[in-house]
């Protein structure tokens, strides 16, 4: 917010209107969707005014996170989202603290919006909208395979794993998993490689045995962060550009 972008833009409705207008003017396709995502003001009339300005200039739909710019973990003001929806002609999407499919349905009913947007809930359970209450193990294996195939940066790879494994790991297992880090390795004759030993912590042997056949990694697989890859070199040797490779 201190840099003048993000949630603080709700206090600059004229700037938001101009931004939407500029995007609209640059896109020749009439049906191209231009949307904004906002928080709310303490004085909700200001938020409604902002939304109306955006609607008038051609925004396609608006996502409303039901907290003020200063609020973090306070309850979401779903009643405010409902009022905004009642004052708009374009679609309004509700957002904030939706962690399950049931909560998504409840928020949709409470706010009367045209849909819901989920963030952290989907990070924890990417299969939420498929009807799963908790992250299926196959989802975790799929993520590991995707990360290995595309050369996902290690920090991103690890963070998403921890989101998905939040409910199926104990406090002690979380500490062990978070302590894993890259270590200098010279086995290939170059000090610019790093080895990461990832122990994928499973809920139970029974659940692991029930896992459908899948080419994902097995427990205790080792992964190499290959900093010699062309992908890494294109990023100027930055550690954020390392690739993951499976070794047996």
Q: Which residue has the tokens 């904030």?
A: 96
Residues 157, 102 share a domain = no
Residues 91, 11 share a domain = yes
Q: Of all helices (H) and strands (E), which one includes residue 61?
A: strand 61-65
pTM, whole model, 2 decimals? Answer: 0.71
Query: In sequence order, what E strands does 144-231 have?
Result: 183-185, 193-197, 222-226
Please give the residue that has the higher pLDDT: either 139 or 96.
96
Residues 174, 112 share a domain = no
Other CB atoms within 10 Å distance of the CB of residue 115: 15
Residues 238, 142 share a domain = yes
Q: Is residue 149 situated within a structural domain? A: yes
Residues 149, 85 share a domain = no
What's the structural domain count of the chain?
2
Q: Is residue 239 situated within a structural domain? A: yes
* Domain containing residue 222: 137-247
* 3-state class (DSSP) for residue 183: strand
Q: Is residue 1 situated within a structural domain? A: no
State pLDDT tens for residues 69-106: 999 899 999 999 999 999 999 999 999 999 999 999 99
The percentage of residues in the chain with a pLDDT greater than 90, rounded to a whole number, is 45
């Amino acid at each position: 917010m201190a840099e003048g972008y993000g949630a603080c833009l709700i206090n600059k409705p004229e700037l938001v209107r101009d931004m939407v207008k500029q995007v609209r003017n640059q896109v020749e396709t009439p049906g191209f969707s231009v949307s904004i995502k906002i928080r709310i003001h303490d004085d909700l009339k200001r938020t409604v005014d902002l939304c109306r300005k955006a609607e008038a200039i051609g925004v396609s739909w608006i996502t409303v996170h039901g907290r003020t710019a200063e609020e973090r973990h306070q309850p979401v003001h779903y009643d405010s989202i409902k009022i905004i929806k009642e004052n708009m002609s374009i679609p309004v999407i509700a957002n904030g603290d939706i962690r399950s499919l049931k909560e998504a349905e409840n928020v949709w009913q409470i706010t009367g919006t045209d849909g819901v947007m989920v963030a952290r809930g989907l990070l924890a359970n990417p299969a939420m909208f498929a009807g799963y209450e908790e992250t299926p193990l196959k989802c975790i294996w799929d993520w590991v395979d995707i990360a290995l195939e595309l050369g996902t940066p290690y920090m991103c790879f690890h963070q998403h794993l921890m989101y998905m494994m939040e409910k199926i790991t104990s406090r002690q297992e979380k500490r062990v998993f978070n302590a894993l880090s890259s270590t200098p390795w010279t086995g290939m004759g170059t000090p610019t490689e790093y080895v990461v030993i990832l122990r994928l912590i499973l809920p139970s042997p029974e659940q692991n045995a029930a896992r459908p056949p899948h080419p994902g990694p097995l427990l205790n697989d080792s992964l190499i962060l290959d900093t010699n890859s062309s992908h890494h070199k294109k990023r100027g040797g930055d550690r954020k550009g390392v690739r993951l490779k499976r070794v047996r």
